[in-house]
Structure 1
Amino acid sequence: MPADIFVDTNILVYAHDRDAGAKHEQACARLRELWRADEAPWLSVQVLQEFFVNLCRLGVPLAEAREAVTDYAQWRVIENTVALCERGIAEMDRWRVSFWDGLILAAAREAGTTTLWSEDLNPGQDYGGIRVVNPLG
């Protein structure tokens, strides 16, 4: 498993949403692969924040949601900065995506990844050297 994978929020959420059916099973299997990899994958503080909010919306107890965030924070994490925000706006403008997706692209680019696991962006699309893969489909 290559180490240059950036993981978007939705993949983490499906792994913790037991009501998501096949997507839950697929997300769990794919994340197990990443946990066993020689190098940790990438995510961002934004991903951790969105993940926490979504777990709380699913009714996950606060302590369990906090623990899950702490677990994923062991991966390689891109911090939120003003510069990242500015680059996210540029990505949004360049690719005509939402601001939040622009931030994800900016974080993946800062990480130097070539693969972005996401269900939100267009699978197979290349965003200037970052290819989107839907690991659930």
Structure 2
Amino acid sequence: MAVEAFLDTNVLIYAAAGGDDESRRRAAFACIAAANFGTSGQVLAEFYTNVTRKPAVPLTADEALAWIERLSEFPVVPVTHDLVRTAVGLSIRHKVSSWDAAVIGAAEEIGAKTLFTEDLNDGQTYGSVRVVNPFKIH
């Protein structure tokens, strides 16, 4: 089930409902198009909640579910007791939130070397996973 990259919630939100920020939307689609990627049940749940409430033009429940169905064609790490336990350890070790630690843990579990997110430090490595902020202008 190894993949090249793990996509965090914010990448998926910008792809689905990027609004007026066309550069972020293009960057998000580039992550989706360029990589053999996976995600997690946690990310998909966060995606649904946020994409149906926060954007200037939110997705309908049906539109969000259609995105989730398409994304679920790629590997999805389930939220399990083991993942939660791993996240607790990563949270303590790296001094990040438990939510971010669960994303890191899921990325490691799925074998991703790259984690596309804007929520962690661009370029930082957590265990075997390197963070890349696809929206940062280099």
Q: After superposition, give the CA deviation of every residue in 1:58-106 in whole Å (9 maximum; x if it has no partner).
A: 3211111111111101111111101111111111001000110010011
- Supply the distance in 1 between the matched residues of 2:47 and 2:14 (Cα, whole angstroms): 10
Does the 8 Å CA contact 2:117/2:132 hold for their aligned counterparts? yes
Identity of aligned residues (%): 35
Please give the TM-score of this superposition, normalised by the length of structure 2: 0.88
Partner of 1:32: 33
Q: Is the 8 A contact 2:31 2:116 kept in 1?
A: no
Alpha-carbon RMSD: 1.5
Map 1:34-49 onto structure 2 (within 5 A): 34=35, 40-49=36-45
For 1:52, the equivalent position in structure 2 comes to: 48
Q: How many residues were matched structurally?
A: 131
CA contact (8 A) 1:14 1:20 kept: no
Structure 1 gaps of 5+ residues are 35-39
Partner residue of 2:15?
15
Taking the aligned partners of 2:38 and 2:18, their CA distance within structure 1 comes to 24
The one-letter amino acid of 1:23's match is R
Task: Tell me, in whole angstroms, the C-alpha distance in 2 between the residues paired with 1:95 and 1:18.
Answer: 30
Deviation of the 1:109 alpha carbon: 1.1
Counterpart Cα distance in 1 of 2:104 and 2:19? 28
Stretches (4+) displaced over 4 A: none
Deviation at 1:20, TM superposition (A): 4.5
Q: Are 1:115 and 1:133, in contact at CA under 8 Å, matched by a contact in 2?
A: yes
Q: Deviations over 1:16-62 (max 9, x none)?
A: 1232512112212332223xxxxx41110001111111111132111
What is the CA deviation profile of residues 99-125 of structure 1, one whole-angstrom value per residue up to 9, with x for unaligned ones? 100100111111122111111100000
Contact in 1 for aligned 2:16/2:67 (Cα 8 Å): no
SS at match of 1:42: strand
Change (3 A) 1:110 1:45: same
Measured in 2, the distance between the counterparts of 1:129 and 1:80 equals: 20
Give the letter aligned to residue 108 of structure 1. A
Give the Cα–Cα distance (whole angstroms) in 2 for the partners of residues 87 and 20 of structure 1: 37
Cα distance in 2 between the residues matched to 1:13 and 1:20: 13
